[in-house]
Amino acid sequence: MKNSVRVALIAHDLKKDEMVDFARKHEKALSAFPIVATGTTGSLIKKSCPSLDVECVKSGPLGGDQQIGAMIAEGTVGLLIFFIDPLSPLPHDVDVKALTRLGSVYDLPMALNRSTAEMLVKAATT
């Protein structure tokens, strides 16, 4: 039975391969949830993990971060996994900050790196 609350998966450019690897490793656990992901990240995950139910929104810089932020505010995203590249300058840094701020405001379980994501997926499926 699928959970009705979505898991959001987002990754910066240099972290996309890591996110795909993470999704592949946890495909069985993630298949219990509908997934929402920003454009390119979602497309890569869909291609690599065909069993996952992935809804793609716009890419982050084109409003995808804000779309997922709205879902957090509406209560339809219950877990945010966002692999951030802290060493790359981001043209849409304000969107990233707004998204993580909403995650904090709504007390959402949120992982910004792989080790935390591993713990959250394990906790969500036990």
Asked if residues 42 and 23 have their Cβ atoms less than 8 Å apart, the reply is no
Q: Tell me, what amino acid is at 51?
A: S
Asked if residues 32 and 102 have their Cβ atoms less than 8 Å apart, the reply is no
Catalytic residue among 13, 53, 65, 107: 65
Residue 17 among the catalytic residues: no
Q: Within its chain, how far is the Cα of 121 from the centroid?
A: 12
**110-111 β-sheet, strand order:** 54-56, 35-37, 6-11, 77-83, 110-111
Q: Give me the phi and psi of 106, to 5 degrees please.
A: -95, 15
> Tokens 């946890």 label which residue?
26
**What are the residue numbers of the active site?**
65
